A and B are shown apart, each in its own frame.
Chain A
Amino acid sequence: MTAPAPTASATSTIDTAEVAKFEAMAAEWWDPEGKFKPLHMLNPCRLDYITRQIAAEFDRDLAAPRPFEGLRILDIGCGGGLLSEPMARLGADVVGADAAARNIPVAEVHARQSGLTIDYRHTTAEALAQAGEQFDAVLNMEVVEHVADPLAYLTACRELLNPGGVMVCSTLNRNPKSFVQAIVGAEWVMRWLPKGTHDWRKFITPDELFDLLHKAGLEPVDRTGFVFNPVRWDWSLSDRDLSCNYVTTSLKPR
């Protein structure tokens, strides 16, 4: 007796189960009160910064419909698509890249649910650069403190940019305050992040990051703090306080 050939219905059953799993994971990624709550809390602030920097660089009016139409944007470490989806909603042509393969179908399922088209790929900045991909903007948010060789990584990011393109790069400052906030506060006390998410020794001071950006052939043009206010229980942008979370903008020279 020969084994029965897989039928269409068997295949679709497998797909349905997979899809259900991914849907559950997408729901988890996108639950504002769930596992990724700290990211959801920070997200409006990150988006304010990113959208304003891109709009300023490419002379776009954020009050207009689909202001990022015609811009190609790369979101590195896209996760469930918390930045990719807003960029797509603003009209950009978005590639979301993540080194964790499991995130890709999850992000895809959620984009479909949201009625958005986003090109999610299981890949790295280095691989995309090698393939000769080019973007108008690269979003490099809370990634650089996790990579083994920040300079090689930032160099790949520069290669991914069109001349005149913009990279937004955020990370965590390295000082006693950031140790207390990001490690003791966020990981040990609030349990916002799993213990061991961050290695404080890999945090980078703004001056070190500017230095790395220069060495990578980029021209840093802005640095801004993300500041958590424990009374209002929300994040805001600050010109002065870069003591913990902060973000930078740099340009690829024309």
Chain B
Amino acid sequence: METRFDIVIAGGGLNGSTLAIALASAGFTVAMVDPAPGTADDSGDFDGRSYALSLASVRMLKALGVWGAVAGTAQPILDIKVSDGRAGEGPSPFVLEFSHHEIEEGPMGHMAEDRHLRPALAAALDGVTLFRGRKVVAQEAGDDGVAVTLDDGTGLSAALLVGCDGRHSATAERAGIRHTGWDYGQSALVAALSHEKPHDGIAHQFFMPEGPLAILPLTGNRSSIVWTERTENARRINGLDDEGYLALLRPRFGDFLGGIALAGKRHTYPLALSLATRFVAPRIALCGDAAHAVHPIAGQGLNAGLKDIAALAEVLGEARRRGEDIGRIDVLERYQRWRRFDATALAVVTDGFNRLFSNDNPLLRGLRDLGMGAVNAMPGLRRGFIREAAGLTGDVPKLLQGRPL
């Protein structure tokens, strides 16, 4: 068995898999160590999880040859409506609307379901050596590479180890990289719903005092909700049966889509902001939640992870063409310089939005309603928000522009 690779990736989730595909397509030898036992299958059993992929993320998946298998089951997001509300009162008259007609690139993003995205990524992993059902338990960075030990005793070596192992990244911990952040005291309740009326491709964000409720369109008469509540409420709501759950959701959701019913499993995620103090160390890089776990308020978590991947793959590809040692800290710092400011800014902005909106203070309510009304009245600013959410701003890595490496 081959045990020497250019790059070993710890973690085989969406970020890890996408990075493996990007790096393999750039000509690197890649091993991916995934604690999950088998390959995901497209059995059609919907677990309720889905992702809002920005336009740039979709372009990247196209460039990597993954999008074709997802496109048919993804729902374009045509408009985004943001409003302030209270359960039972419906949205306030100040509504902020973002329409894809305001940017020339088409839909601002797509909703892709986990059950379709995961197998599409798994199917594109040819050329990647997989260690499924295994996890990295030790790493030792040295002059000419990093030695990686798996839980079954297998020893691998590589020029670089990338941690795509989530917000409690063991790769980061072993490298002595600390995280800063805080718990929001909020949890996200995630579920898929079916409803009577068509959603017309419109995504809604209602700001409630307890936390935002996002309603994101899936194919057919279905939507995904991300319902944020204070953690103790979330625990209580999650303990209810489906009917009790829906009974609490209905007054928040409103009746604009007619009757609603659950269309998949329910999930709860505690929310916390977690930023790695460094994204790199000698022979180590962190991507996705391992580097920065943000509040899901603007649906930018996975998109931010894909930005990391596109930037890291581009930096490493360029370094390799020059004959540089891809695991050296000066190469890795180019990736950190590219991504850290952006990722930190995203964390600060989503955190600020959450603090501003998860609040029933009448003064703040008045202010944010005015703010939304003002943004809505300024097409230039509105376009700016749309382009930001679509991932079209800043120093965009090649993959996110849909270009190969």
Give the B-binding residues of A (Cβ under 8 A).
32, 40, 44, 47-48, 51, 62-65, 68, 85-90, 113-115
Asked whether B322 is an interface residue with its Cβ less than 8 Å from the other chain, the reply is yes
What's the nearest-Cβ distance from chain A to residue B230, in Å? 44
Q: Which residues of B contact A86 (CB under 8 A)?
A: 322-324
Report the separation of the CA atoms of residues A68 and B321 in the bound assembly, to the nearest whole angstrom: 11
User: Is B143 within 8 A of A47, CB to CB?
Assistant: no
User: Is A40 within 8 A of B330, CB to CB?
Assistant: yes
User: Is B329 within 8 A of A65, CB to CB?
Assistant: no
Closest to B330 in A: A32
A44's contact among B26, B143, B145, B322, by CB below 8 Å, is which? B322
Q: Which residues of B contact A90 (CB under 8 A)?
A: 323
User: Is B321 within 8 A of A62, CB to CB?
Assistant: yes
B322's contact among A47, A65, A88, by CB below 8 Å, is which? A47
Which residues 292-345 of B have a CB within 8 angstroms of A? 317-319, 321-325, 328-330, 333
- Chain B 1-45 near chain A by CB (<8 Å), digits 1 or 0: 000000000000000000000000011000000000000000000
Q: Which residues of B contact A113 (CB under 8 A)?
A: 143-144
User: Is A114 within 8 A of B321, CB to CB?
Assistant: no
A40-B330, A63-B26, A63-B27 as given contacts; A114 in contact with B322, CB under 8 Å: no
- How many residue pairs link A and B with beta carbons under 8 A? The number is 42
List 7 A-B pairs, minimum CB-CB distance, nearest first: A86-B323, A32-B330, A47-B322, A113-B143, A90-B323, A115-B144, A62-B321
15 A-B contact pairs sorted by A residue (CB < 8 Å):
A32-B329, A40-B330, A44-B319, A44-B322, A44-B324, A47-B323, A51-B321, A51-B323, A62-B321, A63-B26, A65-B27, A86-B324, A88-B323, A89-B325, A90-B323
Report the separation of the CA atoms of residues A18 and B318 in the bound assembly, to the nearest whole angstrom: 36
Q: How many residues on B have C-beta within 8 angstroms of the other chain's C-beta atoms?
A: 17
User: Is A85 within 8 A of B143, CB to CB?
Assistant: no
Closest to A26 in B: B143
Report the separation of the CA atoms of residues A85 and B324 in the bound assembly, to the nearest whole angstrom: 8
Q: Which residues of A contact B145 (CB under 8 A)?
A: 115
Closest to A67 in B: B321
Q: Which residues of B contact A87 (CB under 8 A)?
A: 323
Q: Which residues of B contact A114 (CB under 8 A)?
A: 143-144, 325
Report the separation of the CA atoms of residues A51 and B26 in the bound assembly, to the nearest whole angstrom: 17
Closest to B321 in A: A62
Q: Which residues of A contact B324 (CB under 8 A)?
A: 44, 47, 86, 89
Q: Which residues of B contact A32 (CB under 8 A)?
A: 328-330, 333
User: Is A51 within 8 A of B322, CB to CB?
Assistant: yes
Report the separation of the CA atoms of residues A44 and B332 in the bound assembly, to the nearest whole angstrom: 13
A63-B26, A113-B144, A114-B144 as given contacts; A48 in contact with B330, CB under 8 Å: no
Report the separation of the CA atoms of residues A51 and B320 in the bound assembly, to the nearest whole angstrom: 11
- Which residue of B26, B145, B318, B325 has the most chain A CB atoms within 10 A of its CB atom? B325
Q: Which residues of B contact A68 (CB under 8 A)?
A: 323
What's the nearest-Cβ distance from chain B to residue A92, in Å? 9
Closest to B322 in A: A47
Q: Which residues of A contact B144 (CB under 8 A)?
A: 113-115
Q: Which residues of A contact B333 (CB under 8 A)?
A: 32
- Chain B 268-312 near chain A by CB (<8 Å), digits 1 or 0: 000000000000000000000000000000000000000000000
What's the nearest-Cβ distance from chain A to residue B24, in Å? 13
What's the nearest-Cβ distance from chain B to residue A136, in Å? 15
What's the nearest-Cβ distance from chain A to residue B84, in Å? 41
Closest to B27 in A: A63
What's the nearest-Cβ distance from chain A to residue B124, in Å? 19
Report the separation of the CA atoms of residues A62 and B322 in the bound assembly, to the nearest whole angstrom: 8
Closest to A32 in B: B330
Report the separation of the CA atoms of residues A62 and B144 in the bound assembly, to the nearest whole angstrom: 22
Which residues 45-90 of B have a CB within 8 angstroms of A? none
New A-B contacts (7) at CB < 8 Å, excluding given A65-B27, A89-B324: A32-B328, A40-B330, A44-B318, A44-B319, A51-B322, A63-B321, A85-B323
Report the separation of the CA atoms of residues A87 and B26 in the bound assembly, to the nearest whole angstrom: 19
What's the nearest-Cβ distance from chain B to residue A45, in Å? 9
User: Is B26 within 8 A of A89, CB to CB?
Assistant: no
What's the nearest-Cβ distance from chain A to residue B184, in Å? 36
What's the nearest-Cβ distance from chain B to residue A133, in Å? 22
What's the nearest-Cβ distance from chain B to residue A111, in Å? 10
User: Is B325 within 8 A of A85, CB to CB?
Assistant: yes
Closest to A232 in B: B337
- Which residue of B145, B318, B330 has the most chain A CB atoms within 10 A of its CB atom? B330
What's the nearest-Cβ distance from chain B to residue A141, in Å? 14
Report the separation of the CA atoms of residues A51 and B317 in the bound assembly, to the nearest whole angstrom: 14
Closest to A110 in B: B143
Report the separation of the CA atoms of residues A65 and B317 in the bound assembly, to the nearest whole angstrom: 12
Q: Which residues of B contact A51 (CB under 8 A)?
A: 321-323
What's the nearest-Cβ distance from chain B to residue A66, in Å? 10
Which residues 111-153 of B have a CB within 8 angstroms of A? 143-145
What's the nearest-Cβ distance from chain B to residue A247, in Å? 14
Closest to B405 in A: A63
Closest to A91 in B: B323
Report the separation of the CA atoms of residues A227 and B324 in the bound assembly, to the nearest whole angstrom: 21
User: Is B322 within 8 A of A48, CB to CB?
Assistant: yes
What's the nearest-Cβ distance from chain A to residue B112, in Å? 29
Report the separation of the CA atoms of residues A32 and B325 in the bound assembly, to the nearest whole angstrom: 13
A40-B330, A64-B27, A65-B27 as given contacts; A89 in contact with B323, CB under 8 Å: yes
- Which residue of B321, B323, B329 has the most chain A CB atoms within 10 A of its CB atom? B323
Closest to B29 in A: A65
Q: Which residues of A contact B27 (CB under 8 A)?
A: 63-65
Which residues 332-370 of B have a CB within 8 angstroms of A? 333
